[in-house]
Amino acid sequence: MSIGHNQSPALVADIGGTNARFGVLYPGERRPCHIRKLSVNDYGSIDAAIQDYLAQVGDEVVPAEACLAIASPVHQDRVAVTNSPWSFSKERLQRSLGLQRLVVINDYAAQAYGIPSLEMDALFQIGGGEGVARQPLAVLGPGTGFGVGALVRPDPDAVVVVSEGGHVDFAPANELEIEVLRYLWRQHEHVSVERLLSGAGLTNLHQAIASVRGLQAEVLVPEQISSQALEHNDPLCLEVLGCFCAVLGAVAGNAALMLGARGGIFITSGIIPPMAKFLADSDFRRRFEAKGRFRDYVAAIPTYVVVAEQAGLIGAATLLRTSDNLRGCDGPEGRYGH
């Protein structure tokens, strides 16, 4: 049963390791409303957060179905949110909330579904030309973790691909990054992209580059590093943020090659929009295009920062509106409750 056949509202959510965003989708509407952002750490479970959200929006909202975009693999009944203490059974959650249907998808599946519905003022372009119509597009971004997804056929029969691309190996491309990798190897058996391109990754980079430069640096949280760089021109934090942007460009370029993402690369992240101008002036785009014989191939591909906060909720709403054509995600067991 899709929202188009149901006169009751639907619950949509975009749940990461730090924040959980919720909204209500009414029949006939394209965008969710009653949007709230709750802190994951304020609730012992996803059930408690949903119940509190519904209490906040009022007794008149009694959802018959829900689409939850979760920052984790979702192909089994038991879902454990990556970088978060929350875990739940889809079957039990559906019963607890009294839903006729529960759709659970990866958060970057939702991001991918939402991209075609975004207006141009929700995007900040950095380099490249125009995306090629009906060609794959990729979504990726640093947050509490690092997410990667793709929309491989952006049309009414959309097909998404979700992955755990944040856990691929970090590949250094210069002497500084080699030293950063050596530093992180001393702490982690496997140094993934997420070890650098995430909130915690920014702190890891700060400590690593300080060590490489022979500096004694206090441990800073990501917000301190970015503010010290952008507002106070702290030399170490500026170098850290520059390295972060360069690595992000390299990883985005790799995604463009691996996915044939000639429709564009979309950076969806709460971390990036406040530093979009810095990103544009950094080595991000140079490293995106530094692909040897395939430099011209990636040079034509546009990269965008998604500055709209609710892309995940918009994607979840899009999925409910078009659910008769659901494809991709993580298989049927990842999409439907029991």
Dihedral sign, Cα of residue 152, residue 153, residue 159, residue 160: positive
Confidence of residue 76 (pLDDT cuts 50, 70, 90): very high
Higher-scoring residue by pLDDT: 33, 327: 33
The residues, any chain, with a CB within 8 Å of residue 197's CB and separated by 6 or more, are 142, 146, 166, 244, 247, 248, 251
**Domain definitions of the chain by residue range:** 3-112+310-335, 119-307
What is the pTM for the complete model shown? 0.86
What integer is the mean pLDDT of 251-279?
A: 94
Confidence of residue 30 (pLDDT cuts 50, 70, 90): confident
> What percent of the chain stands above pLDDT 70?
93
Convert the pLDDT of each residue in 275-301 to its tens digit. Answer: 999 999 999 999 999 999 999 999 999
The residues, any chain, with a CB within 8 Å of residue 186's CB and separated by 6 or more, are none
Convert the pLDDT of each residue in 58-68 to its tens digit. Answer: 877 889 999 99
Backbone phi and psi for residue 124, each to the nearest 5 degrees, phi listed first: -120, 110
Domain 119-307 has CATH 3.40.920.10: no
89 forms bridges with which residues in the sheet? 78
Do 3-112+310-335 and 119-307 have matching folds?
A: no
**pLDDT recorded at residue 322:** 76
> What percent of the chain stands above pLDDT 90?
73
Q: What's the rounded Cα separation, in Å, for the pair 2 and 4?
A: 5
CATH superfamily for domain 3-112+310-335: ATPase, nucleotide binding domain (3.30.420.40)
Residue 176 pLDDT > 90 = yes
Q: What's the rounded Cα separation, in Å, for the pair 154 and 183?
A: 41
Q: Which residue has the tokens 């996915």?
A: 259
**pLDDT recorded at residue 323:** 61
Convert the pLDDT of each residue in 46-58 to its tens digit. Answer: 999 999 999 999 8
Averaged pLDDT of the chain:
89
**pLDDT recorded at residue 130:** 93
